[in-house]
Structure 1
Amino acid sequence: MGHTIQDKKKLIARVRRIKGQAEALEKALDEEGDCVAVLQQIAAIRGAVNGLMTQVLEGHIREHLGAEGVSAQERLEDVEHVVSALRSYLK
């Protein structure tokens, strides 16, 4: 996955922000914080994870499905992997 290596710093920064958001959510729940603030934090985490998924998926599609010199069989297999990952993600 060359595209994840190229964007490694950006991806790790996103993951760290998500981690911070999850820790803030845990703290709000532990301290019995305001329900609206908890809901907003959950929504923020979901948005952050969606952004991470979008970035990795876009890189994967461009790098693997859109790459020159990929055989039809390899492309078909990769499409199946992407579809499987999307199905799992969207459950």
Structure 2
Amino acid sequence: MSHTVRDKAKLLARVRRMKGQMEAVERSLEAEAACGDVLQLLASIRGALAGLTGEVIEGHLHEHVVHAEGDAEREKAAAELADVLRTYIR
């Protein structure tokens, strides 16, 4: 069973919290809130996304790289991670 399936409830809870944070940004913009308040909300979302991303990356490393069933699977998982990190750090 994949780590994202095994940790599904925890990961979805984090996504739902971020969804609530995005809705808070929308409400703030609709209410013409101060830009400092909107920026604070956006910073919180960015931190939450970084935390979620880190958790999924860590699970990927442990399950698909460290505990891979063979070298081919390990190389494939490492290449997938490298591709994602390339996109993530742009």
Mark yes or no: TM-score above 0.5.
yes
Q: How many residues align?
A: 90
Structure 1, unmatched stretches of 5+, are: none
Pairs within 5 Å for 1:42-81: 42-67=42-67, 70-81=69-80
Q: 2-side partners of 1:5 and 1:44: how far apart?
A: 26
Structure-1 residue corresponding to 2:82: 83
Higher relative contact order (CA 8 A, sep 6+): 1
Q: Which runs of 4+ in 1 moved over 3 A?
A: none
Aligned AA (2:24): A
Structure 1, residues 58-85: CA drift from partner, whole Å, max 9, x if none? 01110110115x2212211211100111
Structure 2, unmatched stretches of 5+, are: none
Q: TM-score, normalised by structure 2?
A: 0.93
Task: Please give the root-mean-square deviation of Cα atoms over the aligned residues, in Å.
Answer: 1.2
Aligned AA (1:33): A
Q: 1-side partners of 2:65 and 2:40: how far apart?
A: 36
Give me the identity figure in percent.
Answer: 47
Q: TM-score, normalised by structure 1?
A: 0.92
